[in-house]
Each structure stands twice: as structure tokens, then as C-alpha cells.
Structure 1
Amino acid sequence: MRIGSGFDVHAFGDGDHVTLGGVRVPHSHGVVAHSDGDVVIHALCDAIFGALALGDIGMHFPPTDERWRDADSRQFLRHAAMLMAQHGYALGNADITVIGEKPKIAPHAQAMRGHLAADLDCDIGRISIKATTTEKLGFTGRGEGIAAQACVLLERG
């Protein structure tokens, strides 16, 4: 077994939605990012890459590479899933926490879980998504951005 953790953060900017777990979530702001800025998927990819000892998402999809401008982060996750399989691992489980005051995650969590399970080719019961606020403290509490952390357990396939 291998364990990995990941973290991602993006500042809010112009826009009318954020993409979280592959789901377009209406919001008063978008995020400032090179790709679609999906903090859920970015944190999850980093957790998988970490468990495999394969660096981080920036090594696989550099923000300096124009191929990834406005990219759908689900392709990053499918790449992580391919590497996981190539190295002989399957997802045991993933636990993801979205950190921010808004938008509300609960109404979208099941759809997010479905996208992540499809991209990782696993049962939806292996994916947990939850949210927390920072009680109005820090940059997320002030509504300046959104963050996510992820932890994964990989098992030999």
C-alpha cells in the first residue's frame, strides 16, 4: 500500500463559476488559474503522484506550457489514473476536503464523486468529498480564494 497527500489553492477572480471535481458550480467569482483551476482534482492528482513518488502536478502539466491553458483538469486525473495502473496500483480510497466559505459543496458532492470515480475507474464508494469553512479566518474566510486537500490510499492491483 502507498499513501499520498495533496493540496491546492486558487485565488478568486472574474467569472461566474468554479469547477470542482469536474463539476461547473455557479459562483459569484471564477478562479485565477492556468488550467480550469479545479482545486479538487489538482489536490487529488498531487496525492496520487505523491503516493507513486512521481512528483507533483506541475511536473506533469507545467503551468508554463500553453497546451494546458484553460485545460479540463479531468484529463490530468485520467493521466494520474493511467500512471497508477502502469505502476501496478489501484485506488483504495480518496478523501478530499474543500476549504472555503463559498460556494456550498454539498449540493454538488455526489456529481463530483461520480466524475472522479469514472476518471479513476473505481466504485463511487471509494471517493469521499466534504467541505469545511475556516470560520471566516484567513484568505478562504475572507472569500479571496478556495482550497482543497486530498489523501489517497493506493493498493497493489
Structure 2
Amino acid sequence: MKSKTETIFLSGLIAGTLDVTAAIVVYGFILQKTTPIKLLQSIASGIFKKEAYEGGTKMAWYGLSLHFLIAMTFAWFYFVIYPYLPFLKRNPLISGLLYGFFVWIVMNLIVLPIAFPALPEKHLDFTLIISILILMFCIGLPIAFITRKYYSSNR
């Protein structure tokens, strides 16, 4: 990686792409709980509320854009804290998985309850475990490994 910006952008882009792809495959095709358009509209509904579901593909594009903005933000945050937390440098596999779990906590216990105050209560079930695993493997790991590569090659 040549620059900090390039590293953050690449890790956010890869993590965001893996995450949205996993969500579409798991929730849209395997579990058949939603469609790709509805899934993306639900992301947009964090800002546009009910209007997101009436806005067709335009709102799906807004949802996708918001999704990547969030992924870039988490990539930026990890990149910034990496030099200050020695345990992140020891093992990118463990730190990536833990960071993915941290992302799940932030999104599900802070961000989503603020955006959607009437969310149903969470229960430890298959869907919850899948959502955690998706963020651990699709967000945490790529961000951890790409950030480590940048810092290792730019000592």
C-alpha cells in the first residue's frame, strides 16, 4: 500500500463488499428472509425511514452508499488505533475476529437502537450468530490484515 488513504479505502471497500455480498447471499438467497433490494433499502431506512421502502432502486443505491460509508468508517477507525494498541499487531487473525465482534456490538447495541428505537429484542439464535460471524469474517479480518500489511511495509 502506498498511502494511508489508499489503505483505508481498500480495506473499507473489500470489507464492505464482502459484508454486503454475504448478507445478500445468506439472508436473501439461503434463508430467503429478504431480497437484495429490500436489504439495501433497510440500510437506507436508517436515514430515510419508511420512505426508503417506497423509493425503489434509488433508495437501494443510497443504502449501498451508506453501507460503504460505514465500512470505510470502521476501516479508518481500526487504521487509526492500530499503532496505539500493541495487541492488534500480535495476531491479525485474532484481532480481526475481535474487531468484527466489536463492529457487531457497535452496530447492534448502539447505532441500530438509535436509528430504530422500536427494534425487537435480540435473542441468541442462528440468525444472530450468523450476523456476528459475517462481521467477524467479512469486516474484521480484511481490515485487520490490510492494515497490518500497510504498517509492516511502511516501518
Q: Same fold (TM over 0.5)?
A: no
Structure showing greater radius of gyration is 2
Structure holding more strand per residue: 1
How high is the TM-score relative to the length of structure 1?
Answer: 0.30
Structure holding more helix per residue: 2
